[in-house]
Amino acid sequence: MKITFLGTGTSQGVPVIACNCEVCQSLDYRDKRLRTAIHIEVDGKSFVIDAGPDFRQQMLRERIHKLDAVIFTHEHKDHTAGLDDVRAYNFFQKRDMPVYGREQVLEQIKREFAYAFAEIRYPGIPQINLCPIENQPFEIEGVSFLPIEVLHYKLPVFGYRIGDFAYITDVNYISAHELAKVKGVKVLVLGALRREKHLSHFSLSEAIEVFEKVKPEMGYITHISHQMGMHSDVEEELPTNIRLAYDGLSLVL
């Protein structure tokens, strides 16, 4: 399994428009963060979890020429806004793009991209096959996915476990029952927005507490805002088995 971080930033990305803070002015490439998404290659299949506003740029940067499905965590715009650009894969792969998400996510997709589901469809629109999922295991092209339901303030969000890898973003609460689903993973990715407490996201210290409970071989933090601080400074403070993810980072399990 190969995992590539397509984006590791929060909804505004880093740098933030019009911000002159130290992080937004940083020349360190690790402080340049597109909106959060991840690419997974496993058993010859290619999947993207979330397709935000930077989807096109991310696919081009990582030279992802084949995509078997898009899986959504939740319906917020920074995770869904780039879905129109699956049109290129429709054209080259000669097939509709399977899109997986809970029912409320797919309903939001139908509203945001209403032209793709209209009775009379304009030529060249994205060809999308909506695939509803619930909080139970499912398969795509023979690859098993285990949803992990967490809360993003009051909004239910799905994380996913694929084999020894688990990915959870936009989270500020995980029940003991759902956390048990990630026990035994080698790599756990968690969202943590900043150092200070936040209404709908884990802080850095709260994410570290979860890593300490699960005890993965390696933990990576994503969905990072400019308020977290400089990548190089934060890395020095973290335990050796917990790292800040950055755009373009690839892992092989």
Successive 10-residue mean pLDDT values, the chain, 253 residues: 98 98 98 98 97 98 98 98 98 97 97 93 92 98 97 96 98 97 97 96 97 97 98 96 98 96
Burial code (b: 16+ CB inside 10 Å, e: under 16) for 10-48 equals bbebbbbeeeeeebbebeeebbbbbbbbbbbbbeeebbb
pLDDT for position 85: 98
pLDDT of residue 245: 98
pLDDT for 42: 97
Residue 4 in 3-state DSSP? strand
Q: Coil, helix or strand for 93?
A: helix
Beta strands 242-244 and 218-222, pairing class:
parallel
Q: What was the pLDDT predicted at 123?
A: 85
Give how far Cα 34 sits from Cα of 6, 61, 205, Å: 8, 12, 23
Measured distance CA(186)–CA(188) in Å, rounded: 7
Instruction: Kindly list the distances between the CA atom of residue 50 and the CA atoms of 39, 111, 246, in Å, as whole numbers in the listed order.
Output: 9, 17, 16
CA dihedral 183, 188, 193, 199 (to 10 degrees): -20
